[in-house]
Structure 1
Amino acid sequence: MPPVPGYLKKIREVCERHDVLLLLDEVMAGMGRTVPVYAYLEDGVVPDLVAIGKGLAAGYQPIAAALMSAAVHDAMAQGTGVLGNGQTHVNHPFACGVALEVQRTIEDDDLLDAVVVRGHRLRARLKERFENVEIVGDVRDRGLFVGVEFVDDRDSKAPYSGGATFAAWLKREALQHGLLIYPGAGAADGVEGNHVLFAPPFISSACEIDEMAECFEDIVRACMGER
């Protein structure tokens, strides 16, 4: 669920008022997944620290990073001068090389433009497919980060009941259809509420996007019969 307009700006103001650092997790949403390189840019804020990961090397090599503002960097430099973290493969040159090449490819091939086009197409296709499926309450997106929310009632938006069972059915049925989905449960109160996240590759073709939506409709309809 993306934040409502103005929410992160208000949080930024509260942090500045009380001299608190704003830390944002963009491991999934960052590196162009929502179109801007960093999702927070859509909300008009800049954090003091931001974590990035998955999209950094596009899955070709495990790598993550923490970016910091000049103020945070200077505070550490003037203190111990050491960032208190580390692991066996920290600053791994091969991983860094892969990540750099991925980012060059995204820029050289204008893949963020593709994220806009494919994201709009995926949302449109899902909305078309589920227009008359009552348990689908919403399809929302930012770029190629698309969520499908399941409800018991479209008017009240009452979350789909049954706990994690429905999400488990969806995942099992999807695998049998050759589709990888990211189901979630308990989003409403820790127990109720089901949703599915789509985050296809930036290089997905129009035909592949259409196939995802068509296949997912078959999956949902099959699982509705199991409830």
Structure 2
Amino acid sequence: MTGTPTIHPHIYVSQPLIQEPGTAPHSAVLHRDTHFIPKKAIGGKGCYIFLEDGQKFLDSTGGAAVSCLGHGHEKVTKAVVDQINQFSYCHSAFFGTQVSEDLATFLVDSTGGRLSKVYVVSSGSEAMEAALKLARQYYLELPTPQPQRTRFISRVPSYHGITLGALGAGGHMIRREPFEPIIAQNTSHVSPCFAYRGKKDGESDADYVDRLAAELDAEFHRVGPDNVCAFIAEPVVGAALGAVPAVPGYFSAMKAICEKHGALFILDEVMSGMGRTGTLHAWEQENVVPDMQTIGKGLGGGYVPVSAVLIGDKIVQVLDKGTGAFRHGQTYQGHPVACAAALAVQRVIKEENLLQNVRAMGTYLGERLMKEIGDHPNVGDIRGKGLFWGIEFVKNKTTKEPFPKVGAMAFLVQETGMQPKYSISLYAGSGTVGGTTGDHVLLAPPYNVTKEEINLIVDTTGAVIRDVFSGV
């Protein structure tokens, strides 16, 4: 398959769009773009995916920062098969399973017990939906109920999931736009902690944090501080901004504002958590413990669909002393095979000391990116933590002016990388600047990546970027 695909920046794309030459598209699958049929993947091992035409593809993004152990890890595969052979499904309304108990215990212990219960579902969006509903129910079950708390505050252009509740809780304008008339209007938004774009010249980190804290406090007062259920944020912003970490002190300041107004503090670690940024939980790096935490991609490493909500004990205690029942349920919650895969992935990370490798290889990846493309005239910023890095593209490096057509350059970089000449994934994102313009790509290799593979990723990424921007 060859040919140059049309770029549709208004469509969220995270896989190659390759046109069948000389034929009309023919597939029963509703692909991400109905005009193109992607190549078929037929196998994978480590950092590589093998395609039907013989192409060996370097999966430097783990799909969407999912494949944290790469592909074909024997220990995880065996755990999944063993669980299927033992018992594959039961409804949680009738029975529990030992594997779900084991996974929950592992996750609770990993927080030092500060988050004391786990609710396992199948996707990041589902986890956020559950967190939103549990936040609301918490206020209804307090000894003195607070039913007026119906609002949430998040950041622009945050992304917290694609289902209607999660989409409404986020601030990603491009993804929200078609569905605004049917999205609940109970979430308002404040600025992200985005030093490259938001920090003023000469402003210290402390002053920047104070300004953002004042903005959040003002938003609480604008909507009524007693009306807010929770503030929601990603510790390292993923798809929406391209691996943007907060400056030191930001999250402790945000949590303090939440506590001041009696609101919950929810961290979305679906993309940045479970080891991706160098600690199992991103919040560990500043010891700012959330009231709830959503996790997903790195939880099961892509071996099965799995996500979870980790729940603080104060919420658990209120629920336990109240109705004792979370009024939310899903057919596949706590699925035994999903729990087995997630537990196997987490055991491998712990037993093979992969978090240390994430930190070491993450530092090396950042240094190599800076050396390889830091001086490129269209690379505005390189940022990240652990094995989670973003590259933002600009039209003018001095003024930070973005390219005018949202997403066009980022998706062109992604599609150029897909070509057999390069055979690398570069995860494109758009709306980096105010949600309406701006381009970035993400890199998120597996936690067991080697130095040699990092070198190949960086060298190939540099070649793709130089190719794409050579005519700009």
TM-score, normalised to structure 2's length?
0.47
The 10-residue stretch of structure 1 (64-73 or 173-182) with the greater mean CA deviation from structure 2? 173-182
Q: After TM superposition, give the deviation of residue 165 of structure 1 in Å.
A: 1.0
Partner SS state of residue 4, structure 1: coil
Q: Is the 8 A contact 1:127 1:139 kept in 2?
A: yes
1:175 to 418, 436, 450: 418
1:157-196 equivalence runs, <5 A: 157-176=400-419, 177-196=422-441
> For residues 80 and 226 of structure 1, do their structure 2 counterparts lie closer, same or farther at Cα, with a shift above 3 Å needed?
farther
1:98 to 319, 331, 341: 341
1:29-44 equivalence runs, <5 A: 29-44=272-287
Q: After TM superposition, give the deviation of residue 27 of structure 1 in Å.
A: 0.4
The 10-residue stretch of structure 1 (78-87 or 108-117) with the greater mean CA deviation from structure 2? 78-87
Q: After TM superposition, give the deviation of residue 159 of structure 1 in Å.
A: 2.9
Structure 1 distance, partners of 2:295, 2:435, is 26
Structure 2 distance, partners of 1:86, 1:35, is 33
Q: After TM superposition, give the deviation of residue 154 of structure 1 in Å.
A: 2.6
2:385 to 132, 136, 142: 142
Partner SS state of residue 274, structure 2: coil
The 10-residue stretch of structure 1 (9-18 or 124-133) with the greater mean CA deviation from structure 2? 124-133
Structure 2 distance, partners of 1:160, 1:51, is 33
The higher radius of gyration belongs to 2
Q: Is the 8 A contact 2:378 2:396 kept in 1?
A: yes
1:206 matched to 2:451? The reply is yes
Structure 1 distance, partners of 2:339, 2:287, is 29
Partner SS state of residue 433, structure 2: coil
Code of the aligned partner of 1:204:
V
Code of the aligned partner of 1:17:
K
Q: After TM superposition, give the deviation of residue 43 of structure 1 in Å.
A: 2.8
The share of aligned pairs that are identical, in percent, is 38
- Per the alignment, residue 89 of structure 1 pairs with 332
Structure 2: gaps of 5 or more residues:
1-243
Q: After TM superposition, give the deviation of residue 226 of structure 1 in Å.
A: 5.0
- Per the alignment, residue 231 of structure 2 pairs with none
Q: After TM superposition, give the deviation of residue 5 of structure 1 in Å.
A: 1.6
1:109-148 equivalence runs, <5 A: 109-148=352-391
Q: After TM superposition, give the deviation of residue 208 of structure 1 in Å.
A: 1.1
Structure 2 distance, partners of 1:52, 1:84, is 21
Q: After TM superposition, give the deviation of residue 131 of structure 1 in Å.
A: 3.2
Q: Is the 8 A contact 1:123 1:141 kept in 2?
A: yes
1:47 to 290, 293, 300: 290
Q: Is the 8 A contact 2:277 2:388 kept in 1?
A: yes
1:63 to 306, 312, 322: 306
Q: After TM superposition, give the deviation of residue 153 of structure 1 in Å.
A: 2.7
By relative contact order (CA 8 Å, sep 6+), the higher-ranking structure is: 2
Count residues with an aligned counterpart: 227
Code of the aligned partner of 1:172:
E
1:19-30 equivalence runs, <5 A: 19-30=262-273
Moved over 6 A (4+): none
What is the root-mean-square deviation of aligned Cα atoms in Å? 1.4
1:223 matched to 2:455? The reply is no
Could you give the per-residue CA deviations for residues 122-157 of structure 1, whole angstroms, max 9, x where no partner exists? Answer: 111111111331111221121001111112333333
Q: After TM superposition, give the deviation of residue 57 of structure 1 in Å.
A: 1.2
Q: After TM superposition, give the deviation of residue 170 of structure 1 in Å.
A: 0.8
Q: Is the 8 A contact 1:135 1:160 kept in 2?
A: no
Structure 1 distance, partners of 2:312, 2:291, is 5
TM-score, normalised to structure 1's length?
0.95
Structure 1 distance, partners of 2:438, 2:408, is 11
